[in-house]
Amino acid sequence: MPPVDSRRTKTPAPKRATETSAATTPTSPAVEVSGRQRLIEAAECEFTQKGFDGASVLSIANRAGVKQPLLNYHFGSKEGLWRAVVENAYAGSLAASRQAADALDRSDPLARLQAALRAFAVSNILHPAAHSLVLMEVAQDGPRLDWLVDNYMKPFHEKLDALIAECHAAELLKPYPAEHASVMMTAMLTAVQSATHLLKRLYGVGPMTPAQADQHAEQVIDVLMHGMAAHRPGRRRTAKPG
């Protein structure tokens, strides 16, 4: 499953020295970064297991091994922490998706589309918990889905739809409606992440390594392109007995 706009939750301004306790002010930059990142990682697990409403900020702080006031200091609220989890998983990798497409020859829209899809797939494969978290919001609708759409999904799909339209114009893809083609592609690329627990039980397969993620993305893109390509080699017919 783009740049984040100015509507993201802002980190509250630090309190004055007279109001700040040792629990809310890290003793060094290294401790501050470590505590913030531990909170994000703990929250990713908590939100994935219990959903946003079921997640407890106290439980998240306990998972991270920090005091709850540190959570408020960094993120302001549970909503702010939830957004930070999404941003941690997707901001850099989805920017890489755009860059991968833009770096290629503009006269080859199919190669640029494949590059964007590959970066998207790998980012989701390497963040299965965050992907599950996003699927929860897609399934139930609401203000957090609105934020996801505005900040991540819409910018990404607008870019993807433009590449698909270029491929349609060049007759490189079958002219499926863009909204169907776009969602079908991303759904196929993230199907394995949506079935992480099933794969574990069926095949004993755990999370993929970066190399495995890249290989899997290539395989799914191969299936997509050969299934949707406008021109395919003719099938060899078996000669009938004389």
pLDDT of residue 144: 92
pLDDT of residue 56: 93
pLDDT of residue 229: 56
Specify whether 97 is located in the same domain as 179. Answer: yes
Specify whether 55 is located in the same domain as 120. Answer: no
Specify whether 120 is located in the same domain as 56. Answer: no
pTM, to two decimals: 0.70
Specify whether 128 is located in the same domain as 201. Answer: yes
pLDDT of residue 14: 43
130 within some domain: yes
Specify whether 178 is located in the same domain as 211. Answer: yes
Specify whether 224 is located in the same domain as 113. Answer: yes
69 within some domain: yes
Specify whether 133 is located in the same domain as 185. Answer: yes
| 84 closest CA partner among 154, 16, 144 | 144
154 within some domain: yes
193 within some domain: yes
pLDDT of residue 23: 41
Say which CATH number the domain at 35 has. Answer: 1.10.10.60
Q: Which of 44, 75, 106 is the last residue of a domain?
A: 75
Q: Which of 75, 107, 130 is the last residue of a domain?
A: 75
- Phi, psi for 180 (deg, rounded to 5): -80, -45
pLDDT digits (tens, 9 = 90+) for 194-233: 777 788 888 888 778 888 888 888 888 888 888 655 665 5
Specify whether 120 is located in the same domain as 152. Answer: yes
Say which CATH number the domain at 102 has. Answer: 1.10.357.10
Find the domain containing 48 and state its range: 29-75
207 within some domain: yes
Specify whether 118 is located in the same domain as 219. Answer: yes
Question: Do 220 and 121 touch, CB atoms closer than 8 A?
Answer: yes
pLDDT of residue 95: 72
Q: Which of 75, 104, 132 is the last residue of a domain?
A: 75
| 161 closest CA partner among 141, 139, 140, 183 | 183
191 within some domain: yes
Compute the distance between CA of residue 220 and CA of residue 169 in angstroms, rounded to an integer: 23
- pLDDT lower than 70: segments of the chain: 1-33, 92-93, 227-242
| 52 closest CA partner among 88, 9, 83, 96 | 83
Partners of 229 in beta bridges: 173
Question: Do 172 and 88 touch, CB atoms closer than 8 A?
Answer: no
Specify whether 185 is located in the same domain as 101. Answer: yes
Helix (H) or strand (E) holding 146: helix 143-148
Specify whether 144 is located in the same domain as 221. Answer: yes
17 within some domain: no
58 within some domain: yes
Domain count of the fold of the chain: 2
Specify whether 58 is located in the same domain as 135. Answer: no
pLDDT of residue 140: 84
Compute the distance between CA of residue 126 and CA of residue 121 in angstroms, rounded to an integer: 9
**Residue type at 147 in one-letter notation:** W
